[in-house]
Chain A
Amino acid sequence: MKNKSSFFLIPYLMWLLLFVAMPIILLTVNAFTDTQGQISLTNLRAFLANGACLKMMVNSFWYALLITGLTLLVSYPLALVIANCRHQRLWLLLVILPTWINLLLKTYAFIGLLGQHGLVNQALQFFGVAPRQLLFTKAAFVVVAAYIEIPFMVLPIYDSLHALDKQIVAAARDLGANAWQTFWRVIWPLTLPGVRAGVQAVFIPSLSLFIITRLIGGNKVITLGTAIEEYFLTTMNWHMGSMIGVILIVIMVLVLLATSGKEQNR
């Protein structure tokens, strides 16, 4: 039996070695070597010494936080409404459907929507607000990123709402809690795992977005992802690019630990 199972595992283990282990190792090696191939901390020092780099990292973190917050704000009520209405599966499918449409296309649509004479400016005009530059602003970046991420936040929250025992809610009402108290004291704490999963699913990709920064944010917003792309494909400094990659991974792991650590305490 043992031999059989390892036979099945051979192609899978090859994959693990070549496409999981090796990339991580090579990325780390690249990050801690200089252009001559010597082991050094040059890249880390350069990163830490450069104010712009540090500012970029903080900004990247801050934007990811904003995007996650905005997404949560829209998604939780949506998940709540869907979990309490008929034809849940249909609504859920309608939430998932946009994720099947290529990210590039959705982003591209916003170039039209947010343009100087686009739909949003037309709407603003209708309400008497003068048209303004929307495209290539930081706000536009945050809104578009949040739009892209909404389904990934709705799904885990919906799952935990759906798993919630309806009788528990009824019990809370029975014990005299009003709608708000029921939500705040019962529903919210019980769906926190879903919220956490959603935050993980949104925050981490938000740190590394680079399509949206390029197409919507102009070059006003530089995230860790944009920086990596820049170093790898434009300035061709792979060592520095790898260093930022390693830093991104470290931040990611910290975020994962911070959001799932609490769950273990429960």
Chain B
Amino acid sequence: MRKLGKALYLVFAFILLYLPIVYLAYFSFSSGQDMVHFQHFSWVHYQALWADKNLIAIFLQTILLAILSSLIATAIGTCGAWGIFRLRGVQRKTLLVFNNVLMVAPDVIIGASFLICFTALGIGLSFWSVLLSHIAFSIPIVVLMVLPRLHDLDLTLIDAAQDLGAGKGLIFNQIILPEIMPGILSGLFMALTYSLDDFAVTFFVTGNGFTTLSVEIYSRARQGINLEINALSTVMLLVVLLLAGGYLFLTRQHDISLGARS
């Protein structure tokens, strides 16, 4: 009986979590114009989406922005993590506190204060201001993803490499980098999702006709239901599912090797 209760709650919770998402996808295949009555199955909204050159351009811009910002943020963040790792005591604590400011600060504050900053620095609002902002708010998460890996790094591995004749550069490339690579990759992944997900900061600092998908969806959604957005979200849902499947597959392989170890 208790088991049944638990199972029911699990089902209830997951219906709740996925209902809106499924609901969106379902109506993307309706030939109608609202999310009330499913008319009949049709690809009409996908065709409209495909024909919407403007939206496709925005989609590509968003992807480009995400890739660029996450790569740069990962590079700076990894260097930062290494720097912080080498520091001790107060210096280290201070840097970590400042690192976390953007992690806890609400999007609205980040957006507003960046807007003031860009204005003060004389940087016009355009693709560049958005790119800079996305790099800026992605750096701390990269640091937080890489640091634990550095801490887990077995320092005797460095001794061992040295013992076997390796110099400093070689030790970094062949020992440290491969060891912290999972951290760097999850940092990159997080930075990517942060950038793709962001609405508020972009909303504040964008200009000169540059928009991202989030901003575009916001302005369309304010005008009411538009099933082209449903079609778009279904496509994005598929991408996310593929990513999640890949992640699951990779971690499962990882699990097997971990299991054999114990």
Does the CB pair A245–B109 fall under 8 Å?
Answer: yes
Which of A20, A84, A150 contacts B102, CB < 8 Å? A20
A140 to B79, CA, bound (A): 44
Across chains A and B, the number of contacting residue pairs, with CB separation under 8 Å, is: 226
Q: Which of B1-52 contact A (CB under 8 A)?
A: 6, 9-10, 13-14, 16-21, 23-24, 27, 34-36
Give the Cβ gap from A218 to chain B, nearest Cβ, in Å: 11
Give the Cβ gap from B172 to chain A, nearest Cβ, in Å: 10
Q: When A78-B13, A85-B10 are in contact, do A101 and B233 touch as well, CB less than 8 Å?
A: yes
Does the CB pair A98–B17 fall under 8 Å?
Answer: yes
Which of B153-161, B174-182, B193-201 has 4 or more CB atoms under 8 Å from chain A? B193-201
Does the CB pair A103–B199 fall under 8 Å?
Answer: yes
Does the CB pair B27–A112 fall under 8 Å?
Answer: yes
Total count of chain B residues near the partner, CB < 8 A: 78
A6 to B99, CA, bound (A): 16
A94 to B248, CA, bound (A): 11
Q: What 1/0 mask marks residues of chain A from 100 to 134 whose CB sits below 8 Å from any chain B CB?
A: 11111111111111010111000000000000000
Does the CB pair B10–A113 fall under 8 Å?
Answer: no
Does the CB pair A109–B23 fall under 8 Å?
Answer: yes
Q: What 1/0 mask marks residues of chain B from 223 to 238 whose CB sits below 8 Å from any chain A CB?
A: 0110001000100110
> Could you write out 17 A-B pairs with CB less than 8 Å apart?
A6-B83, A27-B112, A77-B9, A82-B10, A93-B244, A97-B244, A100-B197, A101-B236, A107-B221, A109-B233, A111-B221, A111-B224, A147-B20, A210-B200, A228-B108, A245-B113, A249-B105
Q: Which 10 A-B pairs have the closest CB atoms?
A: A12-B80, A112-B35, A9-B83, A23-B113, A208-B106, A109-B20, A5-B86, A19-B136, A8-B83, A105-B233
